[in-house]
Each structure stands twice: as C-alpha cells, then as structure tokens.
Amino acid sequence: MLLAALLAAAQVALAAPRGPHSYANLDAFRVTHVDLSLTADFTWRQLRGVAILSVHRLDPQATHLVLDTRDLNISAVAQLTRHVLGATEKLAPFWVSRPFHLRLADPVNGSALVIDLPPSHVSTLSIRIEYATARRAAGVHWTTARSGGRGPRIFYALSGSRGVRGWIPLQDTPRAPITLRVHVHTPAHMVALLSGARDLGVKSVALPTAKRAADHWLVITRPILPSRLDLVVGDLKFAAIGSTAGVYAAGWSARGPARDLRAAVAVQAAGDGLVGRSAAPRRDYVMMPADFPFAFVCAPRLSLLSPTLFGVQRRLVPLAARLPFADAEDLLMPARRSDRWIGQAFAAYLQSRIAEAQYGARSAAVLDTLDLLSLREALGSHGLAGASLGYDKGRLFLDFLAASFGRKDFDAFIKKYYARFSNHRVRSAQFEDFLTRHLLAHAPGAIRASDLAAWIQDPGLPQQAVLPDATALRAIDAARKDWLAGRTSAAGIHAGHWAAEDWIYFLRELPPRLGAAPLAALDAAYSPMRSGDAMRESLWLRLAIDNDYRPGVEAVQAYLRSTGRIDLIAPVYAALMRSKRDARLARHVYSLARPGYDPLAAALIDEIVNPRVGGGSK
C-alpha cells in the first residue's frame, strides 16, 4: 500500500513554467539531434559530458532556450557562430560563450536550464553544454564493489520518469524525439551499451599513466523519445543467443543467463506474428547487478533484467512470458505523456497472448490474475474505481475489445494499426478515430460510444471488463481454505509441485494475521526462504513480520541487503515499520543497505523508514 502510494506520488509533477512535466519552450526551439561525448569516471562516480545540441529555431525573436535538467552541474554553455559584431568578412565557425542560469529546483521535475541567446532569423543553431552528473542523482547509479573492494564495476543511467534529464540536458518530452551520435570514454575492457543504438565500434586508447582506456562509438539514426534512452557501462561478459540476440552479464560468464533467455528470444519472436511484422530488429539483454531497482526495463533493442528473474525453480511460465512484448512501446511512440497508455496497453496485451500461445491458457490466466491482484493492491482503498489506463487496465481494455469483436477481427485490427502507426507519434484521439473506422464500424452496436468513453476517459474499470478466468487457481484456493480451517496440515497441501506463480498466489491471498504457529508449520514443510524465488521470499517475510514469527524475521537483514528491487524490498520495510518491535531493526538494516541502493529506491524507502517530519509513519 505504502509503496503504491509513494510510486504514485513520484509520478505527480508539481507546477512548472512550461507544463506539468517539462520546462522546454517547444514553441520557440526544438532540439532535433545530440552529439554526446561522455566519460565514465568510476573513481569519482561521475559521468562527465559534453552535449552539442542541434536546435531548430521556431521563433526568430526568442531570446531564451529552456532545457530540462536534474542534479546536473553545468560548467559552460556556448553557441557555434560565424558572426562577430563589426567583422567585415565571413569568419570560420567558432564557439561563443552564452550566459545561462538554473532555476530553482523542483523535487520531481528538476531545474530549468535557461540559456540566453540573441534574436536571429537563422533557423538552425548548435549549442554546446559541458556538465557533470551528481553522485546520487535519480536514475544514475554506480554499483558498490563487494568482496573487499573487488568485483565487477557497472554504471547505468535510466531515462524513464524524467531520469534522462539527470544525465543529459535536453528537452525531456515525447514532443521532441531526437537522433544521437554518442562517444563514451571508459576504462579498458569495459562495454558501453545504449538503447536503440547501433554500435560503430570500440578503440583502445593509451593513457599517460600507462593504463589503457576505451572509446566507444554509438549512433541512433531513427528519432527516439528521450525517455527511452538507457545507458549501461561496465565489466560485462557477452554470450550470443542465436544470430539476433545476446546477453551481457557481470562476473565470469554470461552463458548461464543465455540459457535462461533462449526461450525468451523465441517467444518474443512469436509476438511479431501478432503485429504483422516479418522479423524484429536485434535485441540484447543485460543481467543487471543485484541493486537494480526494477524487475526489468525494456528499452529499444535493449532489455535490462534484474538477477531476481533468473534461476527460479519450478516456474509455471519461463522468464520469457514475464517480459512484456518489448517493442510495443517503441513502435507506438506517444505524442504526449498522457498518450503513453497506448503502447503500454499493447505491450501487456501481447505479453498475455504470447504466454497463452506458447504455454497454454492456464499459464496466461494465472499471470493475468496476479496482475489484477497487483492492480487492486496498488489502488488500495480506492479499489478498481481508481484505475487509470496503462499496462494493466490497458490490457483489460484490449481484452474487452477482443471479446466484443472476436479475436479474428481484433487481430486483423492490430495488424492494421501497427502498419499505420509504427514508428509514428500517436495521440489518444488518433487511436480512438482509427478504432472507430477500422473496428467499431465493421460491427455497429457491438459496443456503445459510452462504453468506449468509460474505458478511455473515465477512471476505474467499467462493469463490462472481462476479468481473468480464475478457474485455474481454484485448486489453490481450496487448499488454502482447507488449511486455514484445520482440515489439512501444511504438509497435506502438497504444494511441493507448485510453480512459482502458484506459490505467489497462495501467499498473497492469506489473511495478514495468522499467528506464528501456522507459519512455523509452513516453514517446516516448504522452507520458503530457500525457494530461490525473490518474490516468494518477500511475501513470506511480510507474513513473518506481521505475525511475529521470529525465525522468519531473522532472515530480513540478509534479504534486504541482497537485492535493491523496489517492489520486493519496500513492502518488507513497510511491514517492519508497522511493527513496534521491529521498527528499530528496519532503521538498522537500512543504514547498512542504503549506500548500495539505487537513488530512486533510496528516495522511496527514505519515506518509509524516515518519514518527513509531520508525515508520520505510513
């Protein structure tokens, strides 16, 4: 509940001069291309950059270029020019320093970088910005070396939820897609990966200190949304997965993750048939360090995966079906932030269809039911009435359309939609118009205009929603009911053959207050903390804390220091803080674990463990 509230709060932008999300003055200037030179300094944990922005001027009288930044130290700004006051002949281009200032920082949107420029009728200009990142900027993270300072070094920068402005000063809005040419200077033998980019090669460089470094060159020729740019630099090993995919992992070998991901590549390819595409572009996967804050981030041509997704025994569905159809959001670019739900809905819907096609209706139904439970939990006391369009409600909307018109006609509509809007910026109004002309018009009366409005415009789930079929989970419901009623023992549940998702469903639907004795019986029969499933272990720890089951609570410290994935650790911290006995333990463990957490995870858990004065413990 608390995690859901904090995540929701993190998405709410405070008032800003140019709109709720971006400071950029797009009516006067539009950034179209960025030449970016970055130096990854692992000693000082700092990314130093020089960004040369190609800018299209829309207003000849405009005198301020406004960009989005967050926690950036700007050291210099210059403009490329040929003109000097009083010059009598044409000069070679040279850089002229321009005045700039940063406006007062907003905790969500960061700071507006305002660059003073003279009025001009020249339609294009080049602006060079020299800057460096802050050490604890949101979305930018340097892994903590373990084993006495030894171990793989990894840096990553995530751009979603306004993260890009924490490592590149630009117009952070879906209305300003850009192309890029990127040079990354790293220590020798490191790998540099950029989502959506084509690798132009790497060159070894000799340094005066006798050490060696590497220069990586990457290019993005198709315009990409700033929020889809993710960068990973580090000591990574590579293993191929066929000819169109591969996996990068820290440590001795990437062959283990490659085995787990082999099915993912095949399953993702199955989604191409649903959207009418003959072949997907190359996609690489990165097994991220343990402190990565998300289960996965799917960016153009690059998916970043938490290690908690690997190696789980007796899965109901392999890792492949847990990833959304990775290219859905990239092919359907939103025109505005409020239009992102379209790509998210198709990503979740296609994930469900792929799981059903590859692993059967039961597998898809279980995953969809768990998603619905997550949606209910995230909405808390508001229930499904507060749901807004996005991954889960969006998938249910598309399920409703498929049920109303039949899969054959809806599949044909999907292919038409992708053929028309792939790699184009799409508005919600365009989606509604295309839906009306190419699906609704073919079966008048199948759904009413008010039904469509209830899905797209109104909060909550309409009554017509087609909810997942929970038939596949009735046996688990019956086993839980018999055990709670004392009609069978914990060992009599016969849960040893259950898959990971079956266990998650069983634990999530248990009453929060059971007492220590029933948990001791479950622990003796099935040892949840030795399952190898990070989500099952998180759910178990919450139950142990809420019921004062001390053998379970004793495992908290090791667990919270083993992973930084927000959806796993934040509810455990919240359970500790609810307990009068364990609140001190929460603060102690957090003081040890916080330095290794991603800044986004740390900011969220700060609100749980050390709430602001007057806010109280939630």
Higher pLDDT among residues 499 and 295, named by residue: 295
Domain with CATH 1.10.390.10 in the chain: 324-456
**Residue 291 CB coordination number (10 Å):** 24
Would you say residue 411 has pLDDT above 60? yes
User: Token pair of 269, please?
Assistant: 């390819």
* Structure confidence by residue, pLDDT tens digits, 482-499: 999 999 999 988 888 888
Per cent of the chain over pLDDT 70 is 84
What is the C-alpha to C-alpha distance for residues 15 and 22, in angstroms, rounded to an integer?
A: 10
* Structure confidence by residue, pLDDT tens digits, 432-478: 899 999 998 888 888 888 888 888 888 777 888 888 877 878 889 99
Q: Look up the CATH architecture of domain 324-456.
A: Orthogonal Bundle (1.10)
Question: Rounded to the nearest 5 degrees, what angle is found at the Cα of 172, between the Cα atoms of 169 and 173?
Answer: 160
Would you say residue 480 has pLDDT above 80? yes
3-class secondary structure, 267:
helix
Domain with CATH 2.60.40.1730 in the chain: 2-140+162-227
CA atoms in the 13 A half-sphere facing the CB of 121: 0
* Class at the top of the CATH hierarchy for domain 2-140+162-227: mainly beta
Domain with CATH 1.25.40.320 in the chain: 472-609
**Residue 450 CB coordination number (10 Å):** 9
Q: What is the pLDDT of residue 542?
A: 96
Would you say residue 323 has pLDDT above 50? yes
Would you say residue 85 has pLDDT above 60? no
DSSP-assigned beta bridge partners for residue 223: none
Q: What is the pLDDT of residue 326?
A: 63
| Closest C-alpha among 504, 509, 501 to residue 477 | 509
Would you say residue 13 has pLDDT above 60? no
Starting at the edge strand found earlier in the chain, the sheet holding 64-69 runs 64-69, 111-116, 100-102
CA atoms in the 13 A half-sphere facing the CB of 382: 14
Would you say residue 608 has pLDDT above 50? yes
* Structure confidence by residue, pLDDT tens digits, 45-75: 999 999 999 999 999 999 999 999 999 999 9
What is the C-alpha to C-alpha distance for residues 42 and 44, in angstroms, rounded to an integer?
A: 6
**Residue 467 CB coordination number (10 Å):** 12
Give the pLDDT band (50/70/90) at residue 23.
very high
* Structure confidence by residue, pLDDT tens digits, 386-409: 445 677 888 889 999 999 999 999
* Structure confidence by residue, pLDDT tens digits, 217-242: 999 998 998 989 999 999 999 988 88
Instruction: Decide if 155 contacts 143 (C-beta within 8 A).
Output: yes
CATH 3.30.2010.30 fits 236-322, yes or no: yes
* Structure confidence by residue, pLDDT tens digits, 538-561: 999 999 999 999 999 999 999 999
Give the pLDDT band (50/70/90) at residue 352.
confident
pTM (predicted TM-score): 0.86
Element (H, E) at 367: helix 361-379
The CATH topology of domain 472-609 is 1.25.40
Would you say residue 208 has pLDDT above 70? no
Residues listed for the chain:
618
| Closest C-alpha among 313, 343, 24 to residue 162 | 24
